[in-house]
A and B are shown apart, each in its own frame.
Chain A
Amino acid sequence: MADPRDPFAGALADGQSGGRTNGEPIRIAPIVGVAAAQVQAWPGRKADLAHSLAPLGLTLPDGLAFTETGGRLCGRIAPGRYLIFSPDTVADIATAVPGSVGAVADLSHARAGVRISGGSVEALLAKGAALPFDPAGFPPGTLAQTSIHHMGVLILRRSETVFDLYVLTSFARSFADWLTDACREFGWITAHPTRLAPTADVPA
């Protein structure tokens, strides 16, 4: 019985597979137990925001990239705007940021995440988005926001062959449909749901 809290509603349950069987399949794993918060600093207050978040062990990245500290990922998604993913809670983030420095919105339930890995991940993503996915054009540790099949998606590159993808919760099953269909020529298998983990611990 599918977990009622699972936005993929069993579409990516452990042990499913499909597509061609004559190569290295793409592994797909839902990312579970992730809390998320969007933090916006007021103009010119970036330093103050960094200062507020430092006691929580968080550092703010530059560019379109993400930092990893204490099991949390902090991604910069627009000037002054950050999306923080946490394996537990984001309540402490809201309390840490004073109203004069910025605003914190809890979006823990608003995103569904999935991790894809394997040799063909770049070719898979190229089907959905018109961005360069080679390591030079999209280095590990950086992120991008784009659309795949009319669904907004946040893409974080965890390593050369591992990407984490986040879509709006309401699109989760449609996104799973797109993903498994696009994987047909590579073959795909679902792996055990994974938790947010530092890149060093992310299996290739």
Chain B
Amino acid sequence: MRIPCPVCGPRSVSEFTYEGDATVTRPALDADADAWFAAVYQRANPRGPHSELWHHMGGCRSIIRVERDTGTHAITGASLVSPHEASE
């Protein structure tokens, strides 16, 4: 599988580390246990379109959000997750 890093271009999946479901937002650190339990453990795990985070550890070290179909591996989009703009 090749992942289109917005900074480096398409690269082998072996350069990336998977960081899980991108739709999960962590609550505030002092939020209650229930809110954190949901964020840490509960996942929809869909078969089909999935929005997920990958960390380009073997390249630019950016975190990117990838739209991937978990059934076919087809990747339809990738965007930088960063306070910086991709062009900065």
Footprint of B on A, CB under 8 Å? 41, 43-44, 46, 62, 64, 77-80, 130-131, 144-147, 152
Contacts and interface: CB of A to CB of B under 8 A. Distances in A.
A146 B59 CA distance: 5
B15 A80 contact: no
A64 B61 CA distance: 13
A152 B11 CA distance: 14
A86 B86 CA distance: 26
Contacts of A78: 7, 60-62, 84
Contacts of B8: 64, 144-146
Contacts of A62: 87
Interface of B: 7-9, 11-12, 14-15, 58-62, 80, 82-88
Contact of A145 (B59, B80, B88): B59
A146 B58 CA distance: 5
A79 B87 contact: yes
A130 B80 CA distance: 22
A146 B11 CA distance: 9
Contacts of A41: 88
A80 B84 contact: yes
17 contacts: A43-B84, A43-B88, A46-B88, A64-B60, A78-B7, A79-B7, A79-B84, A80-B82, A130-B11, A130-B12, A131-B9, A131-B11, A144-B8, A146-B8, A146-B11, A146-B59, A147-B59
Contacts of A147: 14-15, 58-59
Contacts of A152: 58
The 3 closest A-B CB pairs, nearest first, are A79-B84, A43-B83, A147-B58
A41 B11 CA distance: 26
B15 A146 contact: yes
B33 to A, nearest CB: 32
Contact of A79 (B15, B59, B80): B80
A128 to B, nearest CB: 12
Nearest to A132: B9
Chain A CB within 10 Å — which of B59, B82, B85, B87 has the most? B59
A64 B88 contact: no
Contacts of B87: 62, 79
A59 B86 CA distance: 19
Nearest to A151: B58
Nearest to A145: B59
A68 to B, nearest CB: 21
B30 to A, nearest CB: 25
Given A64-B8, A146-B15, A80 B88 contact: yes
